[in-house]
Amino acid sequence: MLTADIIVVGAGPAGCSAAWDLTANGLRVLLLDRAEFPRKKTCAGGLTVKAVRALRYSIAPVIQRTVCDLSVSCRMRNQKRFKGIHPICHMIERSAFDYFCLKKTVAAGARFSVVKRIDQIVESDRRVSVITDRGVIRARFLIGADGAHSRVRRLTGRFDGYRAGFAVEGIVDCSPSMDLSMGFDFSRVSGGYGWIFPKKNHINVGLYSLKADVKIDRQDLVDYVVQRIGRPVPTRITGFPLGMGGWRYRPGRGRVLLVGDAAGLVDPLLGEGLYHAIISGQKAAAAIADAMGTGKDACKTYANGLVPIQRDLLFAHAASAAFYKLPKIGYLLLVSPPARIALMGGFSKGMPLLDIFRHGYRFWFGMPLPANGKQNCF
Ligand SMILES: Cc1cc2nc3c(=O)[nH]c(=O)nc-3n(C[C@H](O)[C@H](O)[C@H](O)COP(=O)(O)OP(=O)(O)OC[C@H]3O[C@@H](n4cnc5c(N)ncnc54)[C@H](O)[C@@H]3O)c2cc1C
């Protein structure tokens, strides 16, 4: 029988971030994934400045392009380009990025193992047992970092308020002469947008909706690409859900914590999930390390750690409901000079959405940003 201090199921950004921090605290971590790495992950690979800052190590070797400009449109009309002087987003390819993070985590001391099936999770007062195709694995705590379809979430019955968005992506080859700003075409689909994310030798294109009942298929993506960049069929088209509703997630009691998409922590306004995956993994790790050192309740500590993330998600939830209900008005506000300056300034400073809303006016008036404190998380 295998044992560890902590089992982390899922070796994506949330799982690796948790495992890295736990290992740094001297704990024995077993990281499980059903896939051999490198593996394909459906994702546009836009890593915001705040996400890059949250990581514990440099990811310079896997950054394919850094973008400063943003182009936006509403229903494919009235396109505007926001010119920036500082980076607002770094472009990566998920298979390379995730493999890089896994190698860093294993180098830090975590063990990695492939399990094809998880059949059961049994919690007791002192430990948690995971019954897999490779036998029983026991640990003091379990972190469910296994993404939108989380098996850990389903087996443990945690988190009723989970819901899913959906996105389809593909790639188009690009030549250096093409216009390569990062683009969002809002309301190209109901409750979402089309995107154009330039990488080194290709463009990642896709369609996202926060509404699970909106059907987006291969043909929708082909039509979007032809209309947006006048190119033929994108290749490697795949779709995948995004975990949402995380502002309602309560870790409850026990020895199982959910992080990242498993906990529904994707921002519904923009579909950004990597930042919250990384920091929720780190917060779960801190809560468990604290519990193992002091005997405190890990779920309670984790719940407190999630508060700033959940405030941000709740704000994004309210903003997305208004923005996608009245897209023309929302878009006019978005492209107004004060909002544009606040957004570009906030993104380049690595500020979460709620902080941009609260303090973005400071960019417009040339005022300094408040120092780090309880009220904000940048
Ligand atoms: C099309 C698309 C585009 C996106 N673009 C962006 C973007 O540009 N920027 C951004 O910030 N976010 C984006 N997102 C969201 C982002 O991909 C997710 O929020 C992020 O991957 C969540 O990380 P995670 O570690 O929680 O889960 P994942 O990255 O999904 O990792 C979960 C891991 O768990 C493993 N796993 C799953 N089930 C099991 C099991 N039963 N047993 C063992 N292992 C298992 C998987 O193999 C995987 O390695 C996009 C999502 C989609 C679908």
Phi, psi of 97 (to 5 degrees): -65, -50
Task: Report the pLDDT averaged over residues 171-186.
Answer: 83
Q: What is the pLDDT of residues 288-319, one digit of tens each?
A: 999 999 999 999 999 999 999 999 999 999 99
pLDDT, tens digit, 9 for 90 and up, residues 131-161: 999 999 999 999 999 999 999 999 998 888 9
Q: Ligand 1 test: best mutation among 65, 89, 134, 146, most atoms within 8 Å of CB? A: 146
Residue 55 CA, ligand 1 centroid: distance in Å: 16
**The pLDDT of residue 180:** 74
* Per-residue pLDDT tens over the stretch 103-113: 999 999 999 99
Residue 370: is its pLDDT beyond 90? no
With cut-offs at 50, 70 and 90, classify the pLDDT of residue 4. very high
Q: How much is the pLDDT for 206? A: 98
- pLDDT for residue 378 is more than 90: no
Reported as a pLDDT band with limits 50, 70 and 90, residue 177 is low
Could you tell me how many residues make up the chain?
Answer: 378
Q: Whose CA is nearest to atom 33 of ligand 1?
A: 10
The response to whether residue 93 sits with its C-beta less than 6 Å from ligand 1 reads no
Closest ligand 1 atom to Cα of 238? 1
- Topology (CATH level 3) of domain 2-318: FAD/NAD(P)-binding domain (3.50.50)
pLDDT digits (tens, 9 = 90+) for 212-254: 889 999 999 999 999 998 877 899 999 999 999 999 999 998 9
pLDDT, tens digit (0-9, with 9 covering 90-100), for 36-50 = 999 999 999 999 999
Query: In angstroms, what is the span from residue 336 Cα to ligand 1's centroid?
Result: 33
Confidence tier at 376 by pLDDT (50, 70, 90): very low
Which residue, by CA, sits nearest to atom 30 of ligand 1? Answer: 147
Rounded Cα gap, residues 66 and 326, in angstroms:
32
Determine the pLDDT at residue 375. 39
Ligand 1 neighbourhood includes 134 CB (under 6 angstroms):
no
Would you say the CB of residue 245 lies under 6 angstroms from ligand 1?
no
Mean pLDDT value across the chain: 94
If you measure from the C-alpha of residue 97 to the centroid of ligand 1, how many angstroms do you get, rounded to a whole number?
Answer: 12
Q: Is ligand 1 within 6 A of the CB of residue 281?
A: no
Looking at residue 24, its pLDDT comes to 97
User: 3-class secondary structure for 323-364?
Assistant: HHHCHHHHHHHHCCHHHHHHHHHHHHCCCCHHHHHHHCHHHH
Per-residue pLDDT at 175: 73
242 lines ligand 1 (CB under 6 A): yes
The residue ranges of every structural domain in the chain are: 2-318, 327-365
Instruction: Check pLDDT > 50 for residue 377.
Output: no
To the nearest 10 degrees (0 to 180), the angle between helices 327-334 and 298-325 is: 100
Confidence band for 127, pLDDT divided at 50, 70 and 90: very high
* Across 12-16, 182-186, 363-367, least confident range: 363-367
Identify any residues that bridge with 194 across adjacent strands, giving them in sequence order: 185, 207
Please indicate whether residue 41, judged by its CB atom, sits closer than 6 Å to ligand 1: yes
CA of 145 to the centre of ligand 1 (A): 9
pLDDT at 284: 98
Q: Which residues contact 39 (CB under 8 A, 6 or more apart)?
A: 33, 95, 98, 99
Evaluate: CB of 67 within 6 angstroms of ligand 1: no
42 lines ligand 1 (CB under 6 A): yes
Q: What percent of the chain has pLDDT over 70?
A: 97
Give me 34's structure tokens. Answer: 């059903």
Per-residue confidence band for 87, with pLDDT thresholds at 50, 70 and 90:
very high
**Residue 55 contacts residue 310 (beta carbons within 8 Å):** no
Where residue 373 falls among pLDDT bands split at 50, 70, 90? Answer: very low
